[in-house]
Structure 1
């Protein structure tokens, strides 16, 4: 597993020169924050240190750490919490990432692969997102290129006057729907005729492969299909073509409710409200996950380092996954508060990405 670390800027490089005592005190503050979300004071720190140090000496070190921008006091006379810069320094220079236990690996494989191996990519990605949410207590997110499966069946179902539902069933078991406008006065027989024509032309081909073939066949079959049926076929093709081009990437988010748990204060509630609004902005989430596609491994985004989380102060841990040709086809990850358990979630995201890639390659 590899953790993609951004190049250190000059301030972060200077922080790397912290002595051992300062690093231990800083680590205690970060560990406390990641575990409880609460500030840690000098008296408690002095009891936790591996070497004997008075609370007054601890306060002197804390003052130096605060001057470097690594920690801050949320209230007067309170303990200290890590800043976003402090969390970035911790993640880049001090985070110790272990490997998943055999039980964790088995749980991920069982939940993502499932008992039924003949599943669509959509099912795999949805299960992966839900699994990451459940294990991390954050929101599981996946962005993937929309697939263009071979077509098994297509049918027009009449709705209200002037509208029909086009149902497309893929060979992988996926089902998608589009509503299309119908010519006025269309007889029900025209829908059946259009369905039969498209099934004869499209079955076994992807939508991209079938589109030009259907258009050519439609021109040659004008005399066999009456004008109204031909217009229904064209309407169905236009509906699918517009959907495929307009939504080239799909976003799956599971576990938003986890973000409402373990709130410490009213400001936490406001932060989560802002984060949920962020997750509603599909394009911004897709853009952010897209930044992880260029990584060789797991990427970590913290707080205001990106515009998406500039108000909610959240973090995201994400990794790309590949198909059988080693081509990146999507990104998955976890979004939650900045006090995510990075050491546990980083290998979890990395392993899940590898499992998803393997399953896609088998499909």
Structure 2
């Protein structure tokens, strides 16, 4: 990461508070022999100065196995998250690095959040499908804590290091597959409208439709949160249109299962009456009924690349690129078939 402002020291905070360094140290260590008013003042100045305790040197005999990297999610763990975690844990075991998994709900207080991670001994932070504020990025830079983002929802700074996949190519191949089966009325149900990965998949879908001369009808694109309930809700809405689609490309496997359920509730058979393509190739794609045709996103490999990149940043080593995209691949299973005359009409 780029060099940030010089860290505040205990002496800096002590001078601002008009107390001794020993008093500031007592506050940091939770000692009780500090007057409440003094404690409140020192704690306020620690936050104001974005004070970060220096990392402790490893004890004699400790090796790289004592290093830990934190991976944080903004929402509950799901099938997508499990694949990422597996890749991180496998790579961590290979490198002798511990991986700590956490969920960060809501907007974390920028300064204390970064300080707490450093105080806990984290070498780096990996954030998954997160929307990070400018304040949080500044706090991480001041704490000199390297950050790598997997599938970022936003990229507020060009120099944020991120790992993703070829989402445009994935969206293109998913839609081309459905077009090759004779479908022309193809809908897209994606994730958050502003998410970079969703936009790329949507553009791939639109590019394939335009190249084939297939119109995207009104109501054929919708955006949720990459969840089962979103697939259920938006799948129901598009299937209830006066001219419903014969195929749906869904931005993730979990939402695709929601679309499947919405179709079954309307007496539609998959794939005889409706073809469905997902995205990710998580375990639920393989155990769905019928098994889900999907775009494989190399989630485990993405986790491994993110961890290796984070460790290189923590060691001050250069990296080849601030954004890496791994290749996607269409996996054809039982949820897609040629369009029938009755549904094409």
Q: One fold, TM greater than 0.5?
A: no
Q: Which has the larger radius of gyration?
A: 1
Normalized against structure 1, the TM-score is what?
A: 0.26
Larger RCO, structures 1/2 (Cα 8 Å, 6+ apart) = 1
Higher helix share: 1
